[in-house]
Every structure is written in C-alpha cells, then in structure tokens.
Amino acid sequence: MAGNAALAKYVSDEIVESDRPLRVCAEAGRKCVRNIHQFPILSPEWVNLVDSLKQLQRLVQLEGRMPVNSKVGEAHGRNTDAEGTLWDQENHENAIRILVEEAKVNLCLRMMNDFKKWQYTPDQRLATLQEAMRCYEFSELQLEQKCRQFEEALGVLLWRAFVHVETLQLMDVPLLIEHTAMVLQHVDTFRKDGLNCTVKEQELIAMYFFASLMRHAEELNNSELLAHSVSCRLVPLAVSHIQNHAANAYPEDFAQEVAAGLAALCYNEDFQTEWPKFFWAPDGSGPDPTEMHNFLQLQDFIDPIIAAGGAEKKRELRPLLDFFNTLKRKLGV
C-alpha cells in the first residue's frame, strides 16, 4: 500500500511538473490579453500596448514548438476524424484561446483596421508621427519600429485566431471582409511591382484572412459572407494578388493555404450556383470575360502545387480544377 501511494504521488508530481510550462504560458497570456485596449495610435499607452502584443506573439510561437497533447485524442466522445476545436485540439494554443475567451478578437481586428487606414493616409500618418515626436520625446526610428512591431504581432495573432471557425463565428465578418479587401486594394493600386513587406505584415497576411473566410464560409452566414465578398470585389482582388506576387513573395505553406481557400470557395454550394456575380462587369452587363480569364490564369499558380503534392493534392483541389473547366466552357477556350 505504501509503495502504491508513493508511486501515485510520484506520477501526480510528474504530471503537475509537466503541465507547469502550459500554466505559466496561460497566466502570462491572460495578463497580456487583458492589457489590450484601443488607444490613440502612437500615444504612450499605445506604445506600451505593443510590448504586450509582442509577448503574446512570442507565447504563440513558444506553444507552437511544444509537443502535441496526444491524450486529447483519447478523450471519451471526441470526434477522432476531426482536428478538434480551439478547446479540445491536440495543439497548444492557449494564447489564442484566451484571446477568444476574453472577447478581444473583434477589438484586435478593429485596431488593425484603424491602424492600416491611418497608415494608408500619408498626411494623417505624418502629422501623428510629428506630434508624437514633439510631445512624447520619441525618435522617428523608435516610432517606425513600434509601428512595425504592432502590425506584425497583431497580424500573427489574428491569423492564428482565424484558423479556427469558432473564432470567426464570434467575429464581425463584414468588417473582416472589408479590411481584407482594403488591404488587397491598396496592394493592387500601389504595390503591383512588389509587396515590399515582411511575411507578417498585412499586405501578405490578408491572403490568409481571405483563405480562412473561404474555408469556413459554409459554417458561417454563408449567403451574407459571399454577398459582401461580391460587393467588396474580394475574389478579383485576391486573384490579382496571386497573379502579381505568388511567384516571388509566397512561402510554400502560404501558397498551399491560399490554394485550399480557393478550392473551398469553388466547393461552396452557393458559389457554384451564383459564381457569375463574382465576375460581374462594372456596368452591370454580366460576367466580365477579362475577370474570368484572370481567374483561369490561376492554373499557373495551382499546377506546381499539384505537381509537388501528387494525387492527394489533386483530390484536395478538385473543386478548383472543376471550376477552371466551367470557366473554359463559358469562355469557349
């Protein structure tokens, strides 16, 4: 009996010890998440907020390196054919889970949207920078660095959150569509020759947002999501982004995500019956052949992905390949 008790205590202590890094991450993550509030851009409070966002980003990266919790898959009643939700998956994503539980994801999206609007308005941006340097004794270099850190840290948090449909179900989806379209429109207007950004800045990560929306559309308000995507020209803007930047700016895993998002769009039942609306000419005369040709040219983006992934990848992207054939018939090519 004494031996069994000692063994039980040893096992219990071992479990507690193994859980300690997760508890530390969760406690640190909740503290950082509760520091998230909307402040005027480049104010001292906003600058301090950047440190909390950076710490959350580091926690997300740390959790991503932790071994999966295989015991989750053994839980009674869990669907073993699915990857699990944000709360019962094998991967460790406490920082993202806390962000959702504390109802901060919508706030983070609004903060990012306001920041990019500010950044895309040169006169306002310059005036704010000059005011901050004058009032708070920051150098221009310090402020530029804080802006980059803010965008990169918050962008990674949003990207990781939007992987999960449970997050999107709580989101202001119209705002997410509008934000994604705004960024892609900026790229289409001002950066066709080169993104000139890091992999964590919105000009690239916005395509992750597009892919997540398309992947999960049928589990959201599908008809509203697709209708708002049409009004914001989200699909033509995404197509332009791929055509102009995939070859030089897309990492391999990023290209795979974008391709999966396109395939999910083409598999969407509402899209299959209403796809001409996504290519509608500005004068309302019907589908624009140029826009349809542009989409069809995405075969050049998809073919290498299929060649690298083989038969399994071809099966995954079959809805997209079928839609290419639909467009060919419509265009008579």
pLDDT tens across 97-130, in order? 889 889 999 999 999 999 999 999 999 999 999 9
Q: From the centroid of its chain, how far is CA 183?
A: 13
> Contacts by 123-131 with C-beta closer than 8 Å and gap 24+?
128/41, 128/42, 129/42, 131/42
> Which pLDDT does position 19 carry in this prediction?
54
For residues 207 and 200, give the distance between their C-alpha atoms in angstroms, rounded to a whole number.
11
> Which pLDDT does position 285 carry in this prediction?
81
Nearest partner of 314 among 325, 324, 323, 303, judged by Cα: 303
> Which pLDDT does position 84 carry in this prediction?
56
Q: Which two tokens stand for residue 169?
A: 């179900």
From the number of C-beta atoms within 10 Å of its C-beta (0-12, 13-18, 19+), residue 266 rates as: buried
59-102 pLDDT, tens digit each: 888 876 655 555 544 444 444 444 557 655 455 678 888 898 89
Convert 271-290 into a string of H (helix), E (strand) and C (coil).
HHHHHHHHHECCCCCCECHH
> Which pLDDT does position 15 carry in this prediction?
39
For residues 324 and 297, give the distance between their C-alpha atoms in angstroms, rounded to a whole number.
9
For residues 93 and 91, give the distance between their C-alpha atoms in angstroms, rounded to a whole number.
6
> Which pLDDT does position 190 carry in this prediction?
95
**Cross-strand partners of 287:** 280
Nearest partner of 215 among 172, 159, 152, 154, judged by Cα: 159
> Which pLDDT does position 154 carry in this prediction?
96
> Which pLDDT does position 61 carry in this prediction?
80
Q: What is the DSSP string of 12-71?
A: HHHHHHHHHHHHHHHHHHHHHHHT-----TTSHHHHHHHHHHHHHHHHHHHHHTSPP-GG
Q: How far is CA 120 from CA 114, 124, 187, 240, in A?
A: 10, 9, 11, 19
Q: Which residues, at least 6 apart from 176, have a Cβ–Cβ distance to it below 8 Å? A: 109, 162, 168, 209, 213
At CA 190, angle to CA 184 and CA 195, rounded to 5? Answer: 70
> Which pLDDT does position 14 carry in this prediction?
43
For helices 140-162 and 44-64, angle between their N-to-C axes, nearest 10 degrees: 40
Q: How far is CA 292 from CA 35, 278, 280, 331, 333, in A?
A: 46, 9, 9, 8, 12
> Which pLDDT does position 95 carry in this prediction?
81
Residue-averaged pLDDT of the chain:
87
Coil, strand or helix at 195 = coil
> Which pLDDT does position 13 carry in this prediction?
44
For residues 86 and 109, give the distance between their C-alpha atoms in angstroms, rounded to a whole number.
19
> Which pLDDT does position 11 carry in this prediction?
40
User: Which residues in the chain come in under a pLDDT of 50?
Assistant: 7-18, 72-82, 89
